[in-house]
Structure 1
Amino acid sequence: MPPGILTIAADKATLSPANTGFMLICSALVMIMTPGLAFFYGGMVRVKSVLNMLMMSFISLGIVTILWVLYGFGLAFGKDNGGVIGWDSAFAGMGHIGLTQLWGTTSIPVYVFAVFQLMFAVITPALISGALADRVKFTAWALFIALWVTIVYFPVAHWVWADGGWLFKLGVIDFAGGTAVHINAGAAALGVILVVGKRIGFKKDPMRPHSLPLVMLGAGLLWFGWFGFNAGSWLNNDDGVAAVAFVNTQVATAAAMLGWLAYEKIRHGSFTTLGAASGAVAGLVAITPACGAVSPLGAIAIGVIAGVLCAMAVGLKYKFGYDDSLDVVGVHLVGGVIGSLLIGIFATGGVQSDAKGLLYGGGFAQLGKQTVGVVCVLLYSLVVSYVLAKAIDLVMGFRVGEDEEIAGVDQAAHAETAYDFAGAGGGTAARKTTPLGETPTKKVDA
């Protein structure tokens, strides 16, 4: 939510059925992004780990929802304590909130704001899971989610979006989650993979996506849901700002996809479906903090820059030797940094606030504020996530055993497989057996 959102409305706001309905729809759109992320990630892993990858996203819907009701909403958006954390006993358990009690000076109920913000809290730890594909214990991952949202996400959300949060008061612009969601998740992913280590066969064995159609389906659901993610973050539909955010979301995503594909063609000689999907997500990430601060032309610039730089960044894991399985660092951390910093360049001062970037006569002031937000969230999330992962690893082990990793986490953690190949048909190839005395052909690892 952008700085100033709680003060722009009339002093005596009244409940708006239109805005309430708009925000409920946006909340549902953000919710569908988590299953969309599951498909996006699930298609990119090998067959033997598809279900585990899906579940690593899906379980966040269960864990974070309950924690949000019990205390998460209060910590993130309760009464401010020193700009660092919030608390309000009325929000604990959500049992003392009036049906028509309004959120601040907005025209939507507290319950509606709470459920909208809940969906952000759900998807943020799910984003981290892509960096850990194929190799972590499901129980350890579930515990990490619970600890991480409590110690990292809830405080950072307060810093960035709560009325008294220190980054909010500093004037850092984060319309819908460049720092609180994407940099936060990307830095956490880097911290955890430094503890967990590389997959067996990293840089040696082929680890290609098993289902590019699933990847494209997931990217499409993310793109669709992102309109609620961004446009809904203005919390109303009265003044045209949400419409600008909606347009910028579409424009930057399209530009980033084209930028990624152009880089891919020049660098590797092909336009790939994985590149199209990844470029679109890079654009969505980069425009998230900036969609209420820039013009559509600025959104094109942000999209192209993010598409090219994120495409370049995904290869850094091979250069530096960290195993970011599905490029969470390369897309979400790098994309979040790009979008957050470019506000200081392209902010027009004519949409969500009067803050102007360098190209619009604002000097370096806003860029300096954005840099503070980026650096502080990145370092906090990286360090604390590393410590949490290390503690879990020491207590219960974060990683599955070598045999389980080779066989596939699906069977070890869930006792299931994603596809029933045995029931696929009874053709000649399916019935063919190895002649007596011959050595069976070695099965290629899926």
Structure 2
Amino acid sequence: MTRHAVEANFDGLVGPTHNYAGLSWGNVASKSNVNAVSNPREAALQGLAKMKRLADRGYVQGVLPPHERPHVPSLKALGFRGTDAQILEQAAESSPAILAAVSSASSMWTANAATVSPSADTSDHRVHFTPANLNAKFHRSIEHTVTGRSLKSIFADEGYFAHHPALPSVSHFGDEGAANHTRLCGHYGEPGVELFVYGQAAFDEQAPAPVKYPARQTLEASQAIARLHGLKDVNRVFAQQNPAAIDAGVFHNDVIAVGNGNTLFYHEMAFLNEEKVLTDIRARLTGAELEAVRVSSAEVPLEDAVASYLFNSQLLNTPDGMLLAVPGECREVASVSRYLDKLLAANGPVTAVEVFDVKQSMRNGGGPACLRLRVVLSDDELQAMHRGVILTGELYERLTLWVETHYRDELAREDLADPMLLDEVRKALDELTGILGLGSIYDFQL
């Protein structure tokens, strides 16, 4: 008998230091908006509005907290000394790039938070979590400790949930989390196929690799996570991302492909060996036939896919087929808008398209799919997790008021050195952990 399960989405709440520092080489949107003035309040409210719309449609919608930024412990580890205000001043004067890095609100993109394997796939039948080391970028490499604390606080029952530390923070095991991982299945409660997409094989110098931008995910990292999570061969497929796509600005696989249920929606440039990937999935997928929705370059040029983040949309299961939740930019790029109309007329697995305004996130290189971490949970697991982070109408109102109370409506790069900003952030996060019932997860609280 199939055990009932749901795919829950846990969105990252945008942090108070949301800013455009252009820290992510290889992320075209991030670099193109460098040093623009951001609006943290608007960004957080846009994210909450997206969560609310999906919760109102009946999806299980959770909230993951932002991280403490600027992260003074990282500055101390790099040799800055004195009071917190003095440390910020020193960093601003001598190393503004480092200050920008430890002030990044990039934890908002929780698709990078971790890799999650549902209990139906794992050898011990628990849900497994591995925080991503994100070691390709300094500003993200400092996230996994607090990410791990958050996940352990929310999914605390060891009878249902297993937590692993991040992989070694070296390039050979570069891990970017669920941005390079998706799961295909017939039913959420049945064993599925976990698709791990990597940019290069780190220990094989002769293997294909991008030449312009770095490959952030390695085959070795994906293999290690599959082992840690107790996945059998029948539950996993390893596929290499097309190096040409990485060099075109597709820094994660979720910028060029997204899957859910038995549907894989992807661009023809997504995989280095497309036919083998599809064959491997079909050989392992049970309970349903794979619905492969392939978008050609003639329909949507790769640069338009990157500009619009068409594939960084959320693919959501509905009783009538798949809903594609797209960023507003998809209707602003002509080829993408035409393709979406064609997609809806095709009577395929995608039966509805909805537009979401996440422009503040998009300007920094993250669409709707970047903002969420998917966790498949059985009914028992859903009850066993900490319920205080599940978005309800009441929690939405409390979080909206919290944002409006604590967030600035403008933030420029020079504001990051303001000691008042650090005080504002800590006060806000201390209150937030109380609202969400998470306990002490931040360094300043410990």
TM-score after normalising by structure 2: 0.31
**Which is strand-richer, 1 or 2?**
2
**Which is helix-richer, 1 or 2?**
1
TM-score after normalising by structure 1: 0.31
Larger C-alpha radius of gyration, 1 or 2?
A: 1
